[in-house]
Amino acid sequence: MKQLRVIVEEAFVYDEEKHLTVMKTSLFFAGDGYTVYDCKGELVFRVDSYGPDAREKDEIVLMDAQGKCLLTVRRKRPSLHHRWEGYLGERTEGQKPIFNMRRSSIIGRSSMTVEVLKDSGDEYHIEGCFGNRHCTIFDAAKEPMAEIKRKVDASTNVVLGKDVFSLIIKPGFDGAFAMGLVLVLDQINGDTFDDDGSEMDPTADD
């Protein structure tokens, strides 16, 4: 088995490749809520929202199926790099982050860089276009750790809308950490639109 990369919760580090389905639970407000299911239809993660003002807090809490707070992601302001930080559990005042995530460059289109601040100090890079639900999380050695892909309905072979997509976790990688990165990507993407309202690459200029 590959080396375990526990960043948030060991229970979500799997021995085999894990295919999860991520569903946005509201179509009215970007980033309003999420539910995440495994291939058996069992709930794995959820993110609840309390209305349109939730995004103004720039803070999102990832929970497990029982409602335990696993991870809080929080936008750091001001930041030209779209910098976000992750905290274990429900963030408290004075708590130190366990990772930060930012655009690799403020110039042009660029990948996202994720720096783990606890224990190993590992670094990850996210490449691709989250707006098109097509990107990959790589470790420093360029090994893929997780992938985000469009979801295809197995019965009809039809590609589903962007509010339902796949998150594929590689063996040994922390699925809760990966889902935390997805939450940040979705928030950044929600801030980035073309003049006609169409989605752009989330790593494009401010």
Residue 135 lies in a domain: no
Is position 117 within any domain?
no
pTM for the predicted model, two decimal places: 0.83
Q: 131: helix, coil or strand?
A: helix
Instruction: Give the pLDDT confidence score for residue 93 in this predicted structure.
Output: 85
pLDDT tens profile 157-175: 788 888 899 999 999 999 9
Which H or E element spans position 24?
A: strand 18-24
> From CA 109, how far away is CA 88, in angstroms rounded?
30
Residue 26 pLDDT grade (very low, low, confident, very high; cuts 50, 70, 90):
low
205 within some domain: no
Q: Is residue 23 very low, low, confident or very high in pLDDT (cuts 50, 70, 90)?
A: very high
The CATH number of the domain holding residue 24 is: 2.40.160.200
Residue 181 sits at the vertex; the CA angle it makes with 5 and 9, to the nearest 5 degrees, is 40
pLDDT for the residue 118: 75
β-bridge pairing 59-64 and 144-150: unpaired
Q: What is the mean pLDDT of residues 61-73?
A: 94
Asked if the model's pLDDT at residue 11 lies above 90, the reply is yes
Identify the band that residue 55 occupies on the pLDDT scale cut at 50, 70 and 90: very low
Give a yes or no: residue 158 inside a domain: yes
Backbone angles phi, psi at 34, to 5 degrees: -150, 150
Using the predicted structure, report yes or no on whether residue 28 has a pLDDT greater than 80.
no
Question: Does some domain include residue 44?
Answer: yes
Q: Is residue 116 part of a domain?
A: no
Quick check: is 159 in a domain? yes
Q: Is residue 88 part of a domain?
A: yes
Distance of CA 131 to the CA centre of its chain: 12
What is the extent of the structural domain holding 42? Answer: 19-100+149-191
Tell me: pLDDT of 107 over 90: no
* Total domains, the chain: 1
